[in-house]
Structure formats: structure tokens, C-alpha cells
Amino acid sequence: MSTQQTSDDARTPGGALKEAESRLHYAVRELSQASWVITLLSVLVALVVGALLILATNPQVQATMGYFFARPGDFFLTSFEVIRDAYSALFRGAVYDWQAATPQRAIRPITETLVNAVPLILAGLGIAIGFRSGMLNIGGQGQIILGATCAAFIGYAFQLPLGAHLLLALVGGALGGAIWGGIAGVLKAKTGANEVIVTIMLNNIALYLIAWLLRQQWFVQTGSNQPISASVDESARLFGILGTGFRLHAGILLAIAATIFVWWLLERSTLGFEMRAIGENPEAARTAGVNVPKATALVLIIGGALCGLGGAAHLLGTEYRLAAGIAGTLGFDAITVALLGRSRPLGTFLAGVLFGGLRAGGVLMQAQTGTPIDIVLVLQSVIVLLIAAPPLVRAIFFLPHPDGSPRVRRRRRLRDQQAAEAASEPAPTQEVSK
Amino acid sequence: MKLQLKGVTKRFGTFTANDQIDLTVQPGEIHALLGENGAGKSTLMNTIYGLHSPNEGEILLDDKRVTFDGPGDAVEAGIGMVHQHFMLIPVFSVTESVMLGYEPTKTAGMIDFAEARHRVQEISARFGFDVDPDAMIEDLPVGAQQRVEIIKALSRDARVLILDEPTAVLTPQETDELISIMRQLKEAGTSIVFITHKLREVRAIADKITVIRRGKIVGEALPESTETELASLMVGREVNLATQKEPATPGEIGFSVEGLTVVSGSGKVVLDNVSLSIARGEILCVAGVDGNGQTELAQAILGLRSAVAGTISLDGTNLRRMSVKERLNAGIGFVPEDRSTDGVIPAFSITENFVLDQYDQQPYSNGVAMRPSVMREAAVNQTSRFDVRLGTVDDPISTLSGGNQQKVVLAREMSRDIRLFLASQPTRGLDVGSIEFVHRTIIEERDKGTPCLIVSTELDEVSNLADRIAVMYRGVVVGIVPGDTNRDVLGLMMAGVPVEEAYTQAEQHHTILGEADEEAQA
């Protein structure tokens, strides 16, 4: 490096951190640009890995292993049956149950899938907005907790007319999430605080905040010592849209509307243009007159609002009562959903439905075949792992590299080497001629 | 030492950077490798220095075939390289820098400072380098830092010395000193390969010139060739080096900067009381060696850096307290120095880049929602007007060549009604054809009556474009001189010599390049 050009930045201790951050940006961008093919293949590989794990833990299969060399056919047949049963139960639990007694019950699984998908989609969109803007929002969990908490409190502590009550509860939920995301956003905008660290810490704060609130009588309004709140009023609940027998509620409409909104925001609005610009190249955005701190704060505020809305929809549509475990692993699953959806609105929607389905189907799979539901977690994890490492997927399926196949390249290099060696053979005679 | 390349080919993926290069550098020869940016000169030198291994071909040193696994092997074999960006550590002394990696040791592995220091002094004295072995690198001017790099190479017994764009950071006077050093080395039998795209230098220095274009050697020339001949060889067609321009017809003052002072984050004054004014229909070029405050001047005018004092007025309005967006809307058209980091967003489409700083303005948006069809239509029209070679405007801009990207940036800035055209290094890294285009476009903008402020470290560009030249040195405007001012004077001013003194000194001492200039004119 020329000493003349050593910039002020490189000499300050912050330089290294900045570099690490730009690498993070790069990684986020890479992840959000994985191709559809890679995504689909990742799901496929995950199912294979899941199958292997099911086999490894299944007692029947283990039994046939005992006499594998005597009758290998038994092993393969049992293996096939076990996997078929497990995955068909997964499918029946998630999409369509052809063994159900009534048509109504046959289509119930898909509605359950959508019920699970609602908070995943909403929160996933919130995370995806961050990814597209170059920000790694790990705070979905905290934002969901805050959203659910605000929505719940408005839901049972206020008496309001039908419609207005629900609206206020949803807005309250979004606002709760927006504030939680906004803390990280404003800190990053004003001081450059790393959003990853701040949002992770805010998750913990949210966890202890809800634990504390649930011990306050003014908050829970139940008259008991149980750390669980009162139930939200009917007027604040997300109404069912398929009648009795189904849990599917209006939250799914909200999720669809949010998906369309996020698409419009990112692809059509000037704010979205700013957000994408700071995600791709903050320097150029600044030079082009974008108020980078403002846009940074807005990204996390809007993302937080969507996560908060996810928490609110989960509470007002499914849970009705606030408990310490309200968010479950939603906040982290939402990150996975956003990654799997390549941070695109439609992709995130579909990924949310897939994860909702895995969860719904996992329950039936466990109940009917005894396959632990944890397999679903493995599937989810393997999917993300593979999406994060496109070269691995390409290697598994012998796909060409986008910049030309490494195999072909290796072959070509070998050929070149041979050619070079052949060409260099007459070299000694040339050396003499000076 | 004699350096010979036979059929050296280097490919990166499907791209062939060097194609069957044959090159012979005789002992004690100054061999210039001339080519445009991206022609493959640096790749070739990095191959010789062991940084790349060639796909085909061989390298011979004194007729013996050599292969290098890394620069260490190359240094061992007697090849030294001075990179365009120096590989020095600012807080090291000259002695420490020179011995780094090759420390002479006493018993028990103790570093023998005295020996190292002595070696620096010895080499320095032998070639009259005038370098203090105890000086800190960061305190040395760029020219001296370069000499440290050369000493470093010589101390490792380099008998082939590769200089990569050695004059890019030097004033004409410093270049002069470098030339005399190169001649001394030549006398001592060292072979020198020097890479450049500057025509006047090759003619003044080289014994032999090899021209490289698109990875291939396209011809050899003698220093007696004219610049036009060399340029056409380098570009592959007839080129017009000097842009045709009518004398300026300056109107009233359109833009001015008064007492502008900017302090960097570390508290250093980077712009010190700078005052400039530009009339409508006039081009003012800011010349100077890189890093003397020109970048900061452009940033302060656009609002990317805040000024601690002074006024920036455009048509009588003071911009100093305005945001970047307000300044752009007030009519500043800005072409940034570093296109890929500040000028475009590589992953965005050409259309999106075309509206990058007007995305929230009419007619591209109503303030909330963008109008994709309007954006697209404008991008299609303007890119064709600026002759941008592209597939469709929906492709990412990263698919375009540097020259075409720069044309998109120019199209963006010039397709609206601007009150000031501000460009920093508008042709850095571009090929000759694009440079001609950019220069013509800037002059057209001037003729429309726009005040133009062009920051450039290339003196060729400055003398091509400027109606007046402001020379900067260490954050201060040394002086403002007419556009046709002699290069020697400009060179002295770039080193901080005040105007009048620069004129008298230049009378007494012609630089080698200045003389070559006058001969060419005569």
C-alpha cells in the first residue's frame, strides 16, 4: 500500500471492524442471491439427509441391521417402508390427508400449514427487508415478542368496538416490533453500532421483559399467579375465515397483503430504492444523495414492524394468551425463511408455507410413525446450510459453476500443461541459438 | 541480465490476459512496455515476478529457463519489481523497509542494524539517491518513497528491474529524477522494464518500445516514433490526441468557493482556505499530485465532507449547509473519482443506475412510487445518445466495460439541467476511445454555458481540457494559471513552488519531458 494514500480509516482501530462488516455484507448478498435451482436442490438433499437420520434412529431398521448379511432384503424393504411411511405422514399432515374420514378433515392439513406459516411469512418478510438492505437483523425473536406483548395487552385490557379493537391490536403489535427494531436501527444510524450485536442483545432483553411483565398483576389481569396473561377479547381476535373445524384465520390475508406490500416497497417505491441502494453500495448511495442514516433506521423500523405484526398475528389468531414462550423459535425460523426465500417477497412467502408445512406435518409424522419431530429441525437446518454453500450443492449434483465448470477447467488446465510441456521439449536446442 | 519471454500465455478462466508474448530485454536496456489500461501489461509483469504462473510459454534469464513458484524465487533469480502502489510500511524507517524479509543477522539471530544501514547508504551513494537511511517512510515525499523501493530491489541484487507505472504519482520534476536514476542503472548494466500508458515518457526514456494491445504484442517501435504513431499502435486505429476545442467564452461567475477549509477525521487540515471561481462556459481544471486535497475539494463541494469554514456558492446560493440531495437538486452534476464505489451500484440495472441520483425526482417518480416505464424510456434514449454499447438497459451495469459505465454516469449527470459540472478523474482507467468521447462531452457541456470543474492528476488531460488551471499542493491552491501553461511550471507548482518562482525556475531548468515536448512542437 502506498503510504501516501493510507486513508484515515485504515489507521483507526475501527478499520478492521469495518472490513469485517463489509465481508458480512458480502455474505448476506451472496446468500440472498442463491439461485432457485440451488434452493430446490437444497430441499431435496435435506430430505435425503432426513431419510438417513430416520433410518438410523428407527428401531425396526436397527433390528434388520442385526442380520443384514443373512437377509439384506429385509433391511432394504424395511428401510423403504419406514421412509415412505414417515414422509407420507409428513405430507398428509402438511398438505392433504387422503386417509381422512371426511373431505373437510382431508383438507384440514393445508389450512394448518397456513396457520403455521402466517407468523413465519410476516416475520420472514421483516428479516428479508433487512437482508436486501445489507443488514443482518437477528432480532426477529425480540421484535416478535414485543409485537405479541403489545397486541395481547391491547387485546384484553381495552374494550373497543369490533373492527377497531382488532385494528388497534394489530397496529400496536406492529408498533411494538417497530420500536424494538428501531432501537437497533437508530443506534446503527447514529453511532454505527453493529446491528447484529444490538439485535441479539435486544432479544435477551425482550425475553426478560416479557418474563417480568407476566409476573405483574396490572399486566396479566388474570388474578392468578400463573405467568400467563388473560385471554384477548373476541373483538380483538383474528377471525376464522373457513368456519368451524378450521383454525385458519384472517392472518393469512394479512400475510398475503404484507407480501404484496413488501414487493411494492422494494421494487416500486423510492424508499425501497434507497434501501436496496444502501444494501448494495452505501458509498454510491450516499454520493447519489441518499440520506443513509435515515434509510438505515427505516429499514430496521419497517423490518421490526413486520416481525411485530407476525408476533401479533400469532397471538391474535392462534394463541390468544401471552406466555413466556410465545415466540417459540419463530424469530430464528424467520431468518431461515428469509434466506430460503432469497429475500424476495414471493420466495419468502413460499418458504414460510414450506416451513409451516414441515411443522404441521412433523406433528402427524411423530404421532403416526414415532419419527421424532426434531427431524423437521434437521431438515430446516440442512436446507439453510446448503443454501449458504452453493459450491457444495453444485458439487453434489455435478452442476457447472456459473463462471465455467471447475471440472472442465481442471481438465483444460491439465491439457494446457501437457501442451506446454510438449512445447518446452525442444527448448534445449533453442537455448543454444543466441 | 538478459530477460527473454517465449510464447508466454496467461489465462484467467476463459479470458486470455496474455497471448503468446515474445519479448527480449537486453542487458542494460530500458525497455518500455506500452499499452492501454487492461491491455495485459501488469499481468505480464506479475508473471515475470512469479505472482502468476503462465499457462504456456517460458521465461529465460541469460538463456537459462526459469520457473518461479512465487516472488521469492524471482527475487532470488535477480528480478526486482517496484509496484505502482508501493509496498512500504509507513511507520518503518528506510533501513527497516529495505531489510524487511532479508534481514542481515549477527550471532544468535540478532538483526545486524549497522550492516543493513550501511548497505542502504552504500547503494544510495552509488546512484546518488540522497535518501536518509533513518528517515521514516511516512515523512518522505512520494518520489523518495519510490527510491526506497528501488533501493530495496537493488539491495537484493536485482539485475532486471520492473517498474509498474512508475510516474503515475510523480510530478514532472520527480519524474526527471527517476529518469536520471534509470539511466544510471542502465549504465551499471541493469535491465529495466517499465510499464506505462503515457506516450511522452516512453519517447523520452526508452531504448526500445514494445506495444501491447488486448493481451497481444502488436508491434515494436523506436523512441523516434511520433506520439501519434505510438498512440495508433496502442489503440489499433487513428487517434486524435488533442481534443479540438474553441477558445472559451466565459460569461458571468456561475460557481465559486471562498475560503473553504476542511478538516479530516484525524484532525488534519486537508483543505486550507481554498478559493476558486468558475465562469459559465469555462473549464477550470484542478491539477496536482494525487492526495493533495483534490478529492476532498470535490467531496466538500458535493457535501460528502462537511467544511469547517468558507462558502460554496452556486448562482449566488450558499450550499454549505445543504445536504447532498439538496445540492444535487440545486444543479450539481457530479462524476465521482472512483466509479465502482461511488458512481454506480454494480448489481443494479443500467436503468436503475441511470436514475441513481434522481430516483425521487420528477419525472421518474411522484416522490413515493417510482415510474419504471418512464425510467426505462429515459435510460434507453439517453444511453443511445451517449453511445453506450449495451445489451438491454435491464442488464446489471456490471456487465458493461469501464468506458461504457462511465458513459452511463455522464449520461445521468448531463441529461438534466445542471448549473455546475463537477468531475473527479473523469477518465481514470478508460481506454483512449472513451477518453476522447468523455473529453468531447465535457467541452460540449462547457459550450452550453455550464461552469465545469474537473479534478485530474493527468497533466495530459488537464492541458487538453482546461481554460484555466488551479494547482493544489497539500490542501492549498498554489496558484491559478492559464490553460496553456508550460508543463515545467505546472510541475514545479505541483511540488508547492509559488507561481512566479515556478516561472523563473522553469526558465532555468527544463525537464527532460518538457524538452521532448518542445522538440515535438518544433
Q: What is the pLDDT of residues B331-364, one digit of tens each?
A: 999 999 888 889 999 999 999 999 999 998 888 9
Identify which has the larger pLDDT, A13 or A57. A57
Q: Please indicate, yes or no, if residue B491 is contained in any of the structural domains.
A: no
Q: Are B403 and B388 part of one and the same domain?
A: yes
Q: Which long-range contacts (CB under 8 A, 24 or more apart) does A38-42 make?
A: A38/A386, A38/A387, A38/A390, A38/A393, A38/A394, A39/A340, A39/A342, A39/A347, A39/A387, A41/A386, A41/A393, A41/A396, A41/A397, A41/A399, A42/A382, A42/A383, A42/A386, A42/A387, A42/A393
Q: Are B321 and B276 part of one and the same domain?
A: yes
Q: Are B181 and B148 part of one and the same domain?
A: no
Q: Which chain A residue has the Cα nearest residue B343?
A: A284
Chain A interface with B: residues with Cβ < 8 Å: 1-6, 8-9, 11-12, 29, 264, 268-271, 273-274, 276-277, 280-281, 283-291, 403-404, 409, 413, 416, 419-420, 423-424, 427, 430-431, 434
* Inter-axis angle of helices A36-57 and A72-94, nearest 10: 120
Q: Please indicate, yes or no, if residue B518 is contained in any of the structural domains.
A: no
pLDDT at A148: 96
Q: At which residue does the C-alpha cell 434507497 appear?
A: A274
Q: Please indicate, yes or no, if residue B302 is contained in any of the structural domains.
A: yes
Nearest to A349 by CA among A113, A53, A17: A113
Q: What residues in A contact B291, CB-CB < 8 Å?
A: 4-5
Q: Please indicate, yes or no, if residue B446 is contained in any of the structural domains.
A: yes
Looking at the predicted complex, does its ipTM rise above 0.90?
no
Identify which has the larger pLDDT, A416 or A241. A241
Please compute the mean of the pLDDT values over residues A263-289 and round it to a whole number. 93
Calpha distance B151→B147 (Å, rounded)? 6
Q: Which CATH number does A27-396 carry?
A: 1.10.3470
In this prediction, residue A404 has a pLDDT band, given cuts at 50, 70 and 90, of very low
Q: Tell me the pLDDT tens digit for each residue of B31-40.
A: 998 888 778 8
Q: Please indicate, yes or no, if residue B507 is contained in any of the structural domains.
A: no
Determine, for residues A287 and B359 on separate chains, whether the beta-carbon distance falls below 8 Å: no
Calpha distance B424→B428 (Å, rounded)? 9
Question: What are B191's strand-pairing partners?
Answer: B160
Please compute the mean of the pLDDT values over residues A53-72 and round it to a whole number. 86
Q: Are B289 and B301 part of one and the same domain?
A: yes
Q: Are B178 and B233 part of one and the same domain?
A: yes
pLDDT at A320 over 50: yes
Determine, for residues A434 and B63 on separate chains, whether the beta-carbon distance falls below 8 Å: yes
Q: The domain spanning residue B278 has which CATH number? A: 3.40.50.300
pLDDT at A23: 64
CB distance A130 to A265 below 8 Å: no
- Point out the residue among A9, A280, A416 whose CB comes nearest to the CB of B347: A280
Determine, for residues B266 and A288 on separate chains, whether the beta-carbon distance falls below 8 Å: no
pLDDT at A380: 87
Chains A and B form CB pairs within 8 A to the count of 129
pLDDT at A12: 39
The per-residue b/e assignment along B504-516, b for 16 or more CB within 10 angstroms, e otherwise, is eebeeebbbbbeb
pLDDT at A268 over 50: yes
Q: Are B34 and B147 part of one and the same domain?
A: no
pLDDT at A425 over 50: no
Q: What is the dihedral of CA A314, A317, A320, A323, to 10 degrees?
A: -10
Q: Please indicate, yes or no, if residue B498 is contained in any of the structural domains.
A: no
| pLDDT, averaged across chain A | 84
Calpha distance B185→B31 (Å, rounded)? 13
pLDDT at B234: 83
CB-count burial class (<10 Å; 0-12, 13-18, 19+) for A73: exposed
Calpha distance B121→B134 (Å, rounded)? 10
Please compute the mean of the pLDDT values over residues A269-282 and round it to a whole number. 93
Q: Are B71 and B189 part of one and the same domain?
A: yes
Q: What residues in B contact A404, CB-CB < 8 Å?
A: 13-14
pLDDT at A356 over 90: yes
CB distance B84 to B165 below 8 Å: yes
pLDDT at A401: 62
Identify which has the larger pLDDT, B40 or A282. A282
**Cell digits of residue B452:** 465545469
Measured between CA atoms, how close is A265 to chain B, in angstroms? 8
Calpha distance B490→A362 (Å, rounded)? 77
Q: Are B73 and B177 part of one and the same domain?
A: yes
Calpha distance A383→A392 (Å, rounded)? 12
| Ordered alpha helix ranges (H), B369-431 | 372-385, 402-414
pLDDT at A250: 93
In this prediction, residue A110 has a pLDDT band, given cuts at 50, 70 and 90, of very high
Domain limit, last residue, from B416, B439, B459:
B416
Q: Are B3 and B46 part of one and the same domain?
A: yes
Please compute the mean of the pLDDT values over residues A319-339 and round it to a whole number. 92
Residue from B9, B322, B351, B360 whose CB has the most chain A CBs within 10 Å, to mutate: B360
**Cell digits of residue B93:** 524507517
Q: What is the DSSP string of A26-71?
A: HHHHHHHT--HHHHHHHHHHHHHHHHHHHHHH-HHHHHHHHTTTT-
Q: How far is CA B99 from the centre of its chain?
A: 29
Q: Are B109 and B150 part of one and the same domain?
A: yes
Measured between CA atoms, how close is A130 to chain B, in angstroms? 17
pLDDT at A109 over 80: yes
Q: Please indicate, yes or no, if residue B409 is contained in any of the structural domains.
A: yes
Domain count, chain B: 4
pLDDT at A255: 97
Domain containing residue B382: 345-416
pLDDT at A420: 47
Domain limit, last residue, from B137, B156, B175:
B156
CB distance B322 to B303 below 8 Å: yes
| DSSP β-ladder status, B332-335 and B420-424 | parallel
pLDDT at B434: 82
Question: What are B136's strand-pairing partners?
Answer: B93
Calpha distance B344→B401 (Å, rounded)? 13
**Cell digits of residue A302:** 419497517
pLDDT at A416 over 70: no
- Point out the residue among A280, A284, A427 whose CB comes nearest to the CB of B58: A427
Q: Give me the average pLDDT of each 10-residue run along chain B (522 residues).
A: 89 82 90 83 87 88 88 88 84 88 78 86 82 86 85 87 84 84 88 85 87 87 83 79 78 92 87 93 92 90 92 91 92 90 91 92 88 93 88 88 88 91 88 84 92 91 92 93 89 90 84 62 51
Calpha distance A293→A279 (Å, rounded)? 12
pLDDT at A415: 52
Asked if the C-beta of B306 comes within 8 angstroms of chain A's C-beta atoms, the answer is no
| Degrees to nearest 5, angle at CA A336 with A332 and A341 | 145
Q: Are B312 and B424 part of one and the same domain?
A: yes
pLDDT at A223 over 90: no
In this prediction, residue A417 has a pLDDT band, given cuts at 50, 70 and 90, of low
CB distance A404 to B8 below 8 Å: no
Q: Please indicate, yes or no, if residue B151 is contained in any of the structural domains.
A: yes
Q: At which residue does the C-alpha cell 465448470 appear?
A: A405
Q: Are B270 and B138 part of one and the same domain?
A: no
